[in-house]
Amino acid sequence: MLKLVSWNVNGLRAVVGKDFANTFKTLDADFFCLQETKMQEGQLNLQFEGYQSYWNYADKKGYSGTAIYSRHQPVSVAYGIGKDEHDHEGRVITLEMPQFYLVCCYTPNSQDGLKRLDYRMTWEDDFRAYLKQLDTKKPVILCGDLNVAHEEIDLKNPKTNRMNAGFTDQERQKMTQLLSEGFVDTFRALHPGQVTYSWWSYRFQARQKNAGWRIDYFITSERLRSHIAEALIHTDIYGSDHCPVELDLDI
């Protein structure tokens, strides 16, 4: 069994002060993927015995950033998606493993007033093309904060949030398109009617009220569907405005 965990930590240095090391060891994953590390190289040396780590930093300080801790030696590692307009914000790391590609992603937020929605649409098309190209060679496991609640079941207040960043018709349609082109939302595949969220605003006591959104995902190539053993959302783990999500694969 292969265990993968993904967590938007909303600043790794802050989370380290909130028992991150203990959470890391308790979850005991083969791969532990992080988004929004908000770090530059050399700001933190956080290593765990038995793991190698891979880091992608944004050019802009204190912004975005991704990391993967792996117990397994990759065949190769790639940073970004090979397009200069997207590859300065530290948003993607791809580990090529013998049997699959693991892609850790922090999708750009469309921002207040949808200032970045047009850019987001370009990103979605280019990133989907990148995933599909990988998928021609080996199955893909995509994880991360994809900054979209796909269906109304995926957020507490769909009606009042329609056309807000993360729940625009355009963003949701791009997720639908990805899933229709050979990929599967693992949590929804196993738990079609379950209402569970992975992100809560820091405002309005949203987490205490469970007024959240499910925007953190494990998405795999369709041909891995029969290997999905479990997909979990760890709502009991604190330290960030997101909680970790998990995929167990029988592979």
Catalytic residues: 106, 145
CA angle 189, 221, 161 (to 5 degrees): 55
C-alpha distances (whole Å) from 44 to each of 12, 16, 173, 205, 247 are 9, 10, 38, 31, 27
CA quadruple 214, 231, 6, 239: dihedral sign: positive
Rounded Cα–Cα distance for residues 36 and 107 (Å): 10
CB distance 146 to 215 below 8 Å: yes
SS3 at position 161:
helix
CB distance 89 to 64 below 8 Å: yes
Q: Sort 235 into a burial class: Cβ within 10 Å, 0-12 / 13-18 / 19+.
A: middle
